[in-house]
Amino acid sequence: MGKVKIKRKSTLIDMTAMSDVTVLLLTFFMLTSTFLQKEPTIVYTPSSVSEEKVPVNNLVTVLISSADKSGKLEDPSAVEGKLFISFTGDADSTFSSEKIRQMMLKEALTIYNDQHKNAPVSLTNGQIAEFGKINMFGVPFRVLPEFLSMSITERDKFQGDMSNPKVGIPIDGNKNRDGRLNDFQIWLKAIYNVAQTINNDQTAGLSPEEAKSVQNLYAALMRQGEGIAVKADKDTPFTTVQQVFDNLQTMKLNKFSLMTALKSEDEPTQ
Amino acid sequence: MAQIEQSDGGKKKKGAQKKMQIHVDFTPMVDMNMLLITFFMLCTTMIKSQTLQIILPTNEDVKKEQQAQAKQSEAITLILDTEYEGDKPKVDAETGKTVHNIYYYEGIADTTFSTPKYLRREQFIGNQNHQPQGIRKILRAKNEQVMEEYEKLKTQWKNKEITKEEFDQLAKKNAADSAKTRPVVVIKPGPNTTYEGLINALDEMQINQISRYSIELPHHTDTVLLKRYEQEHGETIIRPTIRKK
C-alpha cells in the first residue's frame, strides 16, 4: 500500500501586489487631502449651497466656540461664544504666515498699549517669534505674556478649556462711548493696518513677484471681503454670531464670508 | 514576483553555482504603508469648507430720509425662529434636522390684522421631486421673472452653449435686472434662531436668485404680529430667550 503523499505547500504569500496597492492608496491620500488645522474647539458648520471655496492663503478665520454638547457642564452655554482668530499668510512669498502674524501682533500691541496706558502689555522678541508659530489663538491681551511663555502642549491644554475665563478674545463693549476698542476690534484694526501698510509702503522696494503677492494679500483681506471668514457651529444662537457681525460692522468690515459645508439644492433643509 | 531567479542559460557547467532563489518579503513594507495610510486618513481632511459671502450694511445710525424705501408690493419680511427642546435645538425625529420656522408677511406689517395674511408660517423644506416647497416656493413665486430667465440660462449652460464664466456673469446680471419685478427680502432672525437658520435663509436667497435682501433684528411690530398669531393658533411662539447673555 502506497502512502498518500500530502504535498506540502509553502505558506509564503507574495506581498508585492499588496504593497503596490497600498503605495497607490498612500499617494492618493497624500495628493488629495489637506492637513487638518489644529483648532482649540470643534464646531460643526451648517451646510449651504454656496460653492465658493475657502481660500487657502491670506485668510483670517474667526472661530466662535459652540455650547457644550457633552452634557457634562451644568450650563452648556457658559462655554459658548468664545472667540479665536487665526491668520494664514501667503504660502510662497516673503510674507509667510509667520511673518504676517508677528507684524499683526506688533501692530495690535501698539494699538492696545495706546489705549491702555495704565496697564500696557509688553512682550519679548522671543514671545513675538513664538506667536508666529501659533495657528489659532484666543486669549485677551493681558493674558498674552503668560500664554506665549507656555510650551505647545500647555498652550493647547490652556486654550482647549473653554470654561477658563482667560480663554477667548473679549468682544463685549462694542461702540464704547470713550472710543476704546475691545480686544477683538483691536485685532481687526491691526489686520487692516498691516494689510494697508504692506500695500502702501512696502511695494516699492520689492521685486514684481513679491509686490504681486502683497497686493493679493491686501485684496484678499480688505477689498473682496474674502479675507475674513466667520466659522460658527450650526446650533449657535444667532445672537452670539450677531455680536461678532456687529463688531465687524463697527470696524467697517461689512463684507465677509461665512464658513459652510456643501449640500445640494434638492436636499431638504429640515 | 518577489523572487529573482538566476538563470544560467540551461547549460550546466562544471562547478556552476547552485541556482539561487532570492525572495524578498514585502510584508513589513505593507505594514509600514498601512500605518502611513492610517496616519494620513486620520490627520487630513478631504472636505474643503465652502464659504458664503455676505455684505452687511453699516450699523451706524442712518437718518430715516436717507434710508432706501422698498416698494410695498415688493417687500417680504421673514421672521426666523428655531424650536427648542430644553436648551438644545429641537430635532425632527424623521429627518434628523433642526426645526426652523419662518413667519412671513408681505408689504408693511398689518397691525390691524384685517386679512388672515398678516402673518403666515412656513418651513425650509427644500425641493421635493425637484419642485420647490415651503418657503422656497413662496420666494420663487415672488421672483418669478428672474427665475424664468435663470432657468433658461441654466439650460444653455447645461447644453454647453455658454461657459460657466458666462453663465455666472449672465446670472448675476439677470438677478440684478431692474426691469424685472424683484422682491426685497428682509430677514429678521428672532432671539432663538440658530446660526443654521440664518444660513438656510441666506441659502434660499441664493437659490431663488434674490439680489436684494437684508438682515435686521426684529422690530416691536413683529412682536405684535407674533403675539396675535399666538392667540389665534393657540401656540406659544414667543418663548423666553434661551441665552440670557
- Per-residue pLDDT at B1 exceeds 90: no
Instruction: Give the per-residue pLDDT at A91.
Output: 63
Instruction: Give the per-residue pLDDT at A93.
Output: 58
Instruction: Give the per-residue pLDDT at A24.
Output: 93
* C-alpha B107, offset from chain centre: 26
Strands A47-48 and A255-262: parallel
- Average pLDDT rounded to a whole number, residues B131-157: 87
Q: What is the pLDDT of residues B43-60, one digit of tens each?
A: 887 766 788 888 877 777
Task: Say whether A15 and B33 touch across the interface (CB within 8 A).
Answer: no
Asked if residues B174 and B209 have their Cβ atoms less than 8 Å apart, the reply is yes
Tell me the pLDDT of chain A (270 aa) as tens digits: 667 777 777 777 788 898 999 999 999 888 887 777 778 888 888 888 888 877 777 788 889 988 877 777 777 777 888 889 888 776 655 567 787 788 888 889 999 998 888 888 888 888 988 888 888 888 898 888 999 988 888 888 888 888 888 888 888 877 766 677 888 888 888 888 877 776 666 555 666 666 666 666 666 565 555 678 889 988 888 888 888 888 888 887 778 888 888 877 666 554
B129 touches chain A (CB under 8 A): no
Closest-CA distance, B86 to chain A, in angstroms, reads 11
Across B13-22, B46-55, B73-82, B113-122, which has the greatest mean pLDDT?
B73-82
Where are chain A's structural domains?
58-66+78-262
B183 touches chain A (CB under 8 A): no
Candidate from A26, A259, A265 with C-beta closest to B33: A26
Closest chain B residue to A257, measured at CA: B53
Check if the interface score ipTM surpasses 0.85.
no
B26 touches chain A (CB under 8 A): yes
User: Which one of B199, B207, B217 makes the best mutation probe of the A interface by having the most chain A beta carbons within 10 Å?
Assistant: B199
- Per-residue pLDDT at B178 exceeds 90: no
Instruction: Give the per-residue pLDDT at B34.
Output: 92
B86 confidence band (pLDDT: 50, 70, 90): confident
Candidate from B29, B99, B197 with C-beta closest to A238: B197
User: Which one of A18, A57, A238 makes the best mutation probe of the B interface by having the most chain B beta carbons within 10 Å?
Assistant: A238
Choice between B69 and A93, residue whose per-residue pLDDT is larger:
B69
Long-range contacts of A111-117 (CB under 8 A, 24+ apart): A111/A181, A111/A186, A111/A189, A111/A190, A111/A193, A112/A141, A112/A183, A112/A186, A115/A180, A115/A181, A115/A186, A116/A141
- Per-residue pLDDT at B154 exceeds 80: yes
The C-alpha cell at A205 is: 522696494
Task: Say whether B194 and A238 touch across the interface (CB within 8 A).
Answer: yes
Task: Say whether B199 and A258 touch across the interface (CB within 8 A).
Answer: yes
B23 touches chain A (CB under 8 A): yes
Instruction: Give the per-residue pLDDT at B57.
Output: 76
Instruction: Give the per-residue pLDDT at B232.
Output: 81
Q: Amino acid identity of A33?
A: S
Q: What are phi and psi of B53, to 5 degrees?
A: -90, 135
Instruction: Give the per-residue pLDDT at A21.
Output: 92
Task: Say whether A269 and B126 touch across the interface (CB within 8 A).
Answer: yes
Lowest mean pLDDT segment, chosen from A132-146, B5-19, B89-103: B5-19
> Which chain A residues contact residue B198 at CB under 8 A?
238, 241
Instruction: Give the per-residue pLDDT at B53.
Output: 81
Candidate from A49, A249, A260 with C-beta closest to B51: A260
Packing angle, helices B164-175 and B144-158, rounded to 10: 170
- Per-residue pLDDT at B35 exceeds 90: yes
- Per-residue pLDDT at B245 exceeds 50: no
